[in-house]
Chain A
Amino acid sequence: MSVDPPVVHGHINGQVFSAAADATLLQVIRAAGLQVPTLCHLDGLTPVGACRLCLVAIEGHPKLEPACVTTVAEGMVVHTHTPELETYRRMAVELFFAEGNHVCAFCVANGSCELQDVAVEVGMDHSRFPYQYPQRHVDASHTQFSLDHHRCILCTRCVRVCDEIEGAHVWDVGYRGSACSIIAGLDQPWGEVAACTSCGKCVDVCPTGALFRKEDGTAEKHPHPERAAQLAEARHEHRWTNP
């Protein structure tokens, strides 16, 4: 009888790694002190591989793989920063800017926006793709928060944190292609969705200025993406259970 080895070994950028056999490549990359950009990934939430920024090259694999949803395997040889990957990452970030209506200058998240930071990280100084100026709307029906669809990159962090941490499942993804958008309830105005507990976790984890508190003006959003991991860990350890 054979069992899977609890530890596997491989190489990342020429550096040897050893990791638990169920670890993701992203966990291994970060444990090795290396960095790949991410937007949809958030510690504490189930990874979905939506943003494609953490793509890595694995020798012997015919296509690039998202590190956040790829499990390590024995003998894997991984490259995180080939010229091809850097080109694709910058293109992906330019496409994020071109497909939405992101105007950093007066955005609520200016200065604390992960899309803005990732643009710097991949070296984006302009978009080679023409801006699409899609017709989107703002849902300001909730008493405390707003959702500006112009700034949404469909990372689905809000969907996941509401479902997995808060357990309310207010958010979903509706429609297809360029019309794809985050929807509240059964595609209702957010303020009319009775399931919403107004906990604000979706606002805390939103990487851009799409979800924000109504009292926040330009550059006044202070998100708390770390809270998803803190809550997930506390729950896992039964930290707040009465004896």
Chain B
Amino acid sequence: MTTKLRFATVWLAGCSGCHMSFLDLDEWLFELAEAVEIVYSPVASDIKVFPEGVDLCLVEGAVANADNLELALQLRARSKVVVSFGDCAVTANVPGLRNLWAEVEGGSRHSVLERGYVELADTGAQHPHAPGIVPELLERVLPLHEVIPVDHYLPGCPPSAERIRTFLEPLLRGELPAMEGPAMLGFG
């Protein structure tokens, strides 16, 4: 009996659109479920702790807070192949826009919280502060490869279901996907 490839997907600082695009794989998900064991995923598993011995891990989202950073380090240590899945993981994309406030008084972390929780608040204006419950924002939002080594990049906002499938199929056969041309590359 051959053991199934242990497959994980992770959602860091992103809108979940890449996972929605993953779900757009529709009936091909049945084939994927035959080929792999899904050991961790916000859309396909109820496991809360990232497991050991993962073969292939798709990571959506940038690294924006202390939880993202901890999970990124953990998944790298526990996965053979790590994929930056979508533009937020690859470029920091929209979550990274607050980096534009890095030079502003107080930095990007303070500025984005001030804007969201104080300036735009109707009532109860205050910065969120709940140590151990609400993760602290990092001062700079980073693409995944600036935090951990990444093996493959799957750009797109989101990558289309077709692009995800064309990327995954060779990997499931133990081959490398050919990442070239407009079908497989292109931001946005």
Contact = CB atoms under 8 A, between A and B. Distances in A.
A126 B153 contact: yes
Nearest to B90: A126
Nearest to B155: A125
Interface stretch (A104-112, A139-147, A182-190): A104-112
Interface string A110-122: 1101001101100
Interface stretch (B3-11, B96-104, B112-120, B123-131): B96-104
A111 B143 contact: no
B181 A105 contact: no
Given A103-B94, A104-B87, A124 B102 contact: no
A241 interface: no
Interface stretch (A48-56, A128-136, A222-230): A128-136
The bracket for how many chain B residues form the interface is 20 to 34
Contacts of B96: 103, 131, 133
Contact of B185 (A120, A133, A135): A120
A32 B159 CA distance: 35
Contacts of B87: 104-105
A133 B95 CA distance: 13
Nearest to A110: B188
Interface string B171-188: 000000001111001111
Interface in B70-112: 84, 87, 90-94, 96-97, 99-100, 102-103
Given A126-B153, A127-B91, A135-B103, A104 B180 contact: no
A234 to B, nearest CB: 33
Given A103-B97, A104-B188, A133-B100, A120 B182 contact: yes
A130 B141 CA distance: 11
Contact of B186 (A97, A101, A106, A120): A120
A75 interface: no
A131 B185 contact: no
A123 interface: yes
A2 B143 CA distance: 62
B19 interface: no
B181 to A, nearest CB: 7
Given A104-B87, A125-B179, A133-B100, 6 more contacts: A101-B97, A105-B93, A117-B182, A126-B91, A127-B143, A135-B103
11 contacts: A101-B97, A101-B100, A103-B96, A113-B188, A119-B185, A120-B181, A123-B179, A124-B185, A126-B84, A126-B155, A127-B143
Interface of A: 97, 101-107, 110-111, 113, 116-117, 119-120, 123-127, 130-131, 133, 135, 219
Interface of B: 84, 87, 90-94, 96-97, 99-100, 102-103, 143, 145-146, 150, 153-155, 157, 179-182, 185-188
Q: What 6 A-B pairs come out closest when comparing CB atoms?
A: A104-B188, A125-B153, A105-B157, A104-B187, A110-B188, A133-B99
